[in-house]
Each structure stands twice: as C-alpha cells, then as structure tokens.
Chain A
Amino acid sequence: MDEIVKEYLIESNEALDCMDRELVALEKEPSSRELLATIFRAIHTVKGTSGSLGYSKIESVAHVGENLLSRMRDGDLILTAEITSALLAMTDVLRRMLASIEETEEEGEFETGSVTDALHRILQNSTGMNNPSAAGSDKTGEILVERGAVSESLITSVVKMQEQGDARKIGDILVEEAGVSPLAIADALSVQAERRQQVTTSAIRVDVNLLDKVMNLVGELVLARNQVLQFTTNTEDSSFLRTAQRLNLITTELQEGVMKTRMQPIENIWKSFPRVVRDISLAGGKLAELEMEGAETELDKTIIEAIKDPLTHIVRNSVDHGIELPSVRQQAGKPPCGTVKLRAFHEGGQVNIVISDDGAGVDCARVRAKALEKQLVTPQQLTAMSDLQVMNLLFLPGFSTAAKVTNISGRGVGMDVVKTNIEKIGGTVAIDSVQGKGTTIKIRIPLTLAIIPALLVMSGGERFAIPQVSLVELVRLEGEAAISKIEMIHGAPVHRLRGKLLPLLSLNRQLNLPATVAGADDVPVVNIVVLQADGRQFGLIVDDINDTEEIVVKPLGKQLKGIHCFAGATILGDGRVALILDVPGLAQRAKLGSETQAQEVLDERKKATAESADAQSWLLFRVGNKGRLAIPLSTVSRLEEFDLAAIEVSDQRSVIQYRNAIMPLIFISDMLHLQGAREDESRFPVIVYSEGGKDIGLAVDEILDIVDEHVEYSNNTASDYLLGSAVLQARVTDLLNVPAIVDGFMRSSDFIPEERAEESIVYVN
C-alpha cells in the first residue's frame, strides 16, 4: 500500500478517535468552543485529505458532518443527544470505510444514506437562529487576560478591530496600538504553543518494529554490561574499573530512555471508554458518567495492547451489570446518574488500575446459587467460602451472572478471560464489592515485560529466575526447624507460616531434577520461596537462593512451548542461560500433582480397607464402655482435645470452631449406637479427619494407643460403618469405615444426639 495512503489511514483514524472523545466531552460541556473547534478541525482534516486522495464517498459523508458542525460552531445549533448520536454514527461509518480501504484499497459499498439523512434532517430542523458570535476563542487574547497582561475589555475591542477587517495578528495590534510589552506577548505565545502541542506536535512517527529492534539491542547491551561488571570483581585495573562503571551508568540510562520510547499513556486505551460508557448506558436506559484519573500514567506498549480488551470488558460490565436503572438508583437513595471511576497510578514499580462503580455490587447469594447450578463448586466447598472467595468465583471459566444476556456483555467472554489475559502479562486482578454500594476491580501489572527484576535460585545444580512480581517473601528454616517445621498432610508437605498453612512444592521434584545431597556434617537447611499465583500462596523449596538481577526475558523456541513450567529464558551475567519459572504454570502443575496425590491417598486407603491390609499403623480408641475401635493412622490428620462447652450447633449439627473454620463433629457412639461412657469429664478427645480439604471431627471417648500390626480381618459385621473386626493387641477390635461414617453423617440432617453434654467425644479427622 502506498505510504501516503497508510499515513492517511493512521491520521484519519486518529482524527475520528479524537472526534469520538471530544463529542462525548462536548455533550457534558456544550458551550465549550474549544472542544467544538477541535471536533471541527478533525472532521475538516478527514474531509480534506479524503478529497485530495480521491476518496469521494468518505469526503461526501464527512462534508455533511462538517456542515452540521460549522452550524454548531456558528452558534446556530446547540448540541443535543440526537446530534451527538448522529455524529458518532457518522464516525462509525467513516471508520468502516477506512477499514475497507486498508483491506481492499477501495472505499467499498456502504450504506451511508441513513447516516447522512439523519445529519441533513438535523440541519433542516435547525431554526436558523443567528446568535451573534461571541468573541472568537482567540487563545492568545485569553492567555494574556489570564496572565494579567491586559484587561478583558482591551481584548474585546481588539477583536472587534480584527472583525472589522484589521488583518494584523492580535499580538501585533496590542503591541502597536495598546503599548503592551512584546515580552508579555512572546510569553503568551509560548504558553499557547505548549497548549497547542497536540495540534502541532514535535513528535515523529517511528515504526514499532524499529523500536522493538532497538529494545532488543539494548537488552543485549544490558547482558554485555552484566558480563563486563563480573570481570571487574577480579581486577585491580583502575582505568578498566572506571570504564566499566561508566558503561554501567550509560547502559542504565540508555535502557531507561529506550523503555520510555515504548511507553504510552494509558489514556490511549481509555480514550475510547467515554464512548463505550455512553453507548452502553444509552442502550440500557441508564445514566452513567465516566471519571478518569491518572490517564497520563505510562505503560509499555505491549502491555497497553494486552490490557485493552480486558479493561474494555470490565468497563462494559460496570455499566451493563453494575449501574442500576435511574429509578432503581433513586429508590436506593443514590443519584440517578451512576459513576464509573477509572484510576491509574504507579506503586512499587508496578502500575495499578482501579475500576470502580457505585452500582448494585455483586450479589453474593446469586453468585453462590449460580456456582452451584453450574457445578463449579460442591455445596460443602460453598458453605466454607467467605464472600470474598465467592466473588472470586466470578473469575472461573463459564461463569456469568447476568440475569439476561445482552448484546453488550454476557457473551461468554467472561471475567475468566480478563483474568487469564492479565495474568499472561504477569499481572493480578482482585475484586471487591459491597452489595448495594458498588464494585471495585483492582489490576496490578508490571511496567514492562522486556526487562524484569527477578530472583535467582539454585535447584538440582541449575539456576532459575523467578519474576519478582510473583515473589512474596523468603523463608529459611535451619537445623531442627528444617525438619520439624515441615509437616505432612496426606503426604503433601506444608509449613505453618504465621498461623496459616502454606502448601510446599519442591522445585527439584516438580522438575524431576536430582535431589541435592547434603553433606553429612551440614546443618540441614530448607529455603522456601513464598510465591503468589492465582490468588493463592505456596512455598517453593529450592536448594539455594542467590541474588536478584535485572533480566532480559527471551522467548523459548517452539520445541519448548509444551512445557508449562517456564515463562522464557534469560542470559545471566556469566553468559550462561537460565530458565525463567512460570509461577502460575507451576502452581497449575502442582495442583494437578496434589490431585493425583490425593488420588493416591484414596487408593491407598481403599487398599488398606480392602481384604487384607499390610502392616500399618492403627489408631486404637474407645467409644462407650465396650467399643474398642481402630482406624488406619494414615487417615488421621491430628488428634485434639476440646472442652464440652466449645460444642456449638449449626444447621442442626454439632460443630466446633477449629483453626478459624467450623468443623462438624461426628459422635461415633451415636453413629454406632454404642452406649456413651458418660464420664464426668469436661474435655473430650477428637480425631480430626480431612476430606476434600475440610476437617471433620470424630468424637470418641478415649484414645487408647497406636499399634503397628499386620491386620487380617473378617468382614462379618452388620453395620455399614464397620469394615470388619480384627485382632489388635490380642483383643478383638472393630475397624471403623471412616468414609462411610462421614457419608452417613452428611446424609442425616437431624443428627443431634441427646444428652451430649454427658458424653465424652473423640474426633477422628
């Protein structure tokens, strides 16, 4: 395609975008002559260039629009919603024609009649009233008044002189006739130049590919610099050290400079939002206003591109789902016009984007119902969820709470896509909402993707880089703690970090790397890198933690795309290649791992409870006076003791508060119809059993012992809750079928044993 046509397309599209933006702004401020002038200039440019390139259809459509705008500029017409819509429709048609030129180099056949007719109709309907035009928005004059150089009346009289045919510039007249100091005029003119910068800009257009290339080269330079700096550690040569230092400084500055060339204000995406909000609120019969703050916040071009669609989706959602109808809003005591607020700001090397609305907020009850209906969670999981967790269900694939699907949102591209796209560029999304008050969505994204700070770790003899964005903290366990502070739940290691359970992953195991052999006399050390992904934290056990370094991210070849543990590779200071860990990918992989682990545990348990179990550990306990029971120790999470007074009732079941959660209690004596011991003890033992991540307490009367025995048992029992009986420690012992008991308990809703206060209880987890 011709260079001129390309230029024309870019320019015209920019002009149309500008029109969109300014029209919506003008609607709020109909008297602004400045906005009107900008719009007029834009359409005039489109008309002019189209005509000179021979695109007559575009020219004729733009011409009608220009006529209308010129009437408005003359004050014959006042902007109404109807006019705005007609003009916006016109920009849409023009855009389609431009797109057609881009694809086929022809204007294409477009039905432009309805758009131009609408514009003509407005033109004809205009009463033709002829307001005397106010003093032209002569900025030079206004600026002079603003700065106190001249009085307003003087300007008015000078403008009158101009109108009467004085061809001199306003500044010249003022200097010559009114004796205003030329300095003041020059000052005003420089201010004017500054303000008009967007019109006569000092910028040049640069091919993005060229910028990318330069960026790559700077990446190389950063690596070379890192290498050179490593040599400086082994040398005493002072001139070399000085040169290296200088190279270091220049490289850093160059890197920053080149990064800046790729930076774009977030306004570039935001500018289309006023139109989006207007269209959607109009279509839905709503009133909504868009407030923007921090539009000048800059982000790397690739990131700007990546967040455009997610942001648009969120803004649409805010208006379409968030903001209520004006009547509903008034009933709720809110102003009829809703507000969507966009805020962008830098914080800690990252950019925050906050999208908040003062709409209806998230209806958690509806989200719960929907999640159940779509079978995204089990009822048990749901009851344990806090409202915040429930809100995060919105990010699951296939979730849409919109009561009805409009043509604007609810088309299946949901918040899950938003989340995936943001996470792809190393960002995070969080949602917060108060029902009736509004919803806030907070996005955090890195400034750039090309060069990122990363933590270097060693594992299995290899070095890996972990992007700093995912990093939460580092934990080092030494000596005794290295062993005792890592606990196992069903074979999955966890660490208690300030009262919270942190699931642990071993990088060596995840990546099938050889385990590091610690020297015999070494103090055992465990290095845990606490990472955040998918809103969850987990600890990654690595062999060693090195240093943080600015790394240049390089993509991996297609041969490695299938491995989801790596986000790319980088070259370190010593010239060696290191892989960059993909933290969300790793978490995903590990989740699969833990599911298989859970499956393994289940299988094991099945095996254990099948005909004959091999030698294993059994927990012996007593229920009632005679009940001597056992369960495999592997199914037990913990043993606890509670006060009888701590038992509470919820949903007709006995529960107990345990580790910040509500744990249901199962009284084995009731399930097996055994006579309770009725001892006058105020505390009772509980066996804590975990299923599907939930704790369940089995209340027993007394914990007897733990035995390692090879058990053979006969399945001769009548109760479903028993697997059979065996001889343990030379006494007949019933083997409890814990899953069956839990199952039976879950089914029976009216399960409240009487006179519980007199029984002691053992909880089996």
Chain B
Amino acid sequence: MSTERQFCTFLIDDLLLGVRIEEVQELIRHQPTTIVPLSSSELGGLINLRGQIVIAIDLRRRLGLEPRADDESAMNVILRTEDGLVSLLVDEIGDVVEVSEDDFGQPPETLVASGRELIQSVVMLDKNLLLILDTEKAVNVDSALMNQ
C-alpha cells in the first residue's frame, strides 16, 4: 500500500501548484508589503506577520511568469523553512488534496526553463495536473544576483 500525502494547493496563472502541508504554517490574505530597494523583482517585499518580519517571494516572477496585474492582490502562503518563515505570494488558494505517492511523475520537459527547476514532480489528478513545488529551491533567492 502506498503512502498518502497531503498537499496544500494554490493557483498561479492557470497552474495548480502544491506544497507539502507539513511545510505550511498558515495561509493569510493580502498583507501590506514593504518593498526592499535594490533587491530582485522576485522578492515581493517584507510583511509583518504578527510582529515577525517575513520575506515574501513573488512566485509569479520566480517562475518566470508575467507579473500580477495591479488590481489583483496576492495571497500569502507562509512556509516554515530552515531559515525561518518565508511567504509565497500566490494568486489564489486551492484545496488540500491527498495524493498517493504512486501518482508522482517527472515534470514534463515542456515546462518553461526557469520554472522547471522549481518543480519537484507532477501529480496527475482527475481533472488537472498538480505541480509539486521544491520549496527549498523556491525560497532560495540570491540577493546578490538581484542586485544587478
């Protein structure tokens, strides 16, 4: 019998992405962000999470997608990482899905290059595909690079 795992899903553009539910601390609605000058556009800024300062990563830009329209506000997926909390800015929060490890597959070759390395695997759901995010890579934004 294969292991069932739970994923927290969210939408970016029309992509359905997921992270392991154990890594998620909480989901919160749009927060006022403070922009960090000179930092890469992949950093959405800093948010105040009940007195803790958390870096928000703009997952759209991180995946090499078009920036979010001005009138759309992002949702925050707060992840627990080795270096503390990090927020992922996403378009919309989806359901928690339970998938069996048997359903995991390699990401398709056709994924955009910059996004591909962030996708750990692909799960085929009934209606659509769930892309499992490699959170470690996703939050590893190098500010030195962004400086340019």
Residues of A within 8 A of B (CB): 219-220, 223-224, 460, 462, 511-513, 554, 556-563, 565-566, 569-571, 575-579
Contact = CB atoms under 8 A, between A and B. Distances in A.
A559 B46 contact: no
Contacts of A513: 37
Given A561-B143, A563-B147, A576 B34 contact: yes
A571 B53 contact: yes
A571 B51 contact: yes
Interface string B63-84: 0000000000000000000011
Nearest to A507: B37
Contacts of B35: 462
Contacts of A559: 39, 43, 55, 57, 139-143
Contact of A579 (B34, B144, B146, B147): B34
Contact of A224 (B36, B51, B83): B51
14 contacts: A220-B51, A223-B51, A462-B34, A556-B53, A557-B55, A559-B139, A559-B143, A560-B36, A560-B55, A562-B143, A565-B38, A566-B36, A577-B48, A579-B46
Given A560-B143, A563-B39, A577 B86 contact: no
Interface in B25-67: 32-39, 43, 45-48, 51-55, 57
Given A223-B51, A560-B55, A578-B34, 4 more contacts: A512-B38, A559-B142, A560-B43, A571-B48
B37 A576 contact: no
A578 B33 CA distance: 10
Given A569-B53, A571-B48, A557 B34 contact: no
B83 A557 contact: yes
Nearest to B144: A562
B130 to A, nearest CB: 26
A615 to B, nearest CB: 34
Contacts of A511: 37-38
Given A571-B48, A575-B48, A563 B53 contact: no
A554 B143 contact: no
A577 B47 contact: yes
B46 A577 contact: yes
A553 to B, nearest CB: 10
A576 B32 contact: yes
A561 B84 CA distance: 14
Contacts of A577: 33-34, 45-48, 53
B37 A512 contact: yes
A576 B83 contact: no
A697 to B, nearest CB: 41
Contacts of A462: 34-35, 37
Nearest to A221: B51
A462 to B, nearest CB: 6
A219 B32 CA distance: 21
Contacts of B47: 577
Contacts, number: 75
A576 B48 CA distance: 6
Contacts of A563: 36, 38-39, 143, 147
A571 B53 CA distance: 8
B147 to A, nearest CB: 6
Interface string B110-148: 000000000000000000000000000001111110110
Given A223-B51, A577-B47, A562 B34 contact: no
A11 B84 CA distance: 35
Contacts of A460: 37
A224 B52 CA distance: 12
A565 B141 CA distance: 18
A570 B55 CA distance: 13
Nearest to B141: A559
Contacts of A219: 51
B46 A569 contact: yes
A560 B39 contact: yes
Nearest to A568: B53
Contacts of B53: 554, 556, 569-571, 577
Contacts of A579: 34, 36-37, 46
Contacts of A223: 51
Contacts of A565: 37-38
A561 B141 CA distance: 11
The 10 A-B pairs with the shortest beta carbon distances in the complex, nearest first, are A511-B37, A562-B143, A562-B144, A577-B34, A220-B51, A577-B46, A557-B55, A559-B141, A554-B53, A569-B53
Contacts of B147: 562-563
Contacts of A571: 48, 51, 53
A334 to B, nearest CB: 54
Contacts of B143: 559-563
A554 B84 CA distance: 13
Contacts of A569: 34, 46, 53
Contacts of B55: 556-557, 559-560
Contacts of B43: 559-560
Contacts of A566: 36
B55 to A, nearest CB: 4
A557 B48 contact: no
A562 B144 CA distance: 5
A576 B45 CA distance: 11
Given A563-B147, A577-B48, A558 B83 contact: yes
A575 B84 CA distance: 20
Interface in B11-37: 32-37
Nearest to B37: A511
Nearest to A513: B37
A566 B34 CA distance: 13
A570 B36 CA distance: 13
A219 B50 CA distance: 12
Nearest to A227: B51
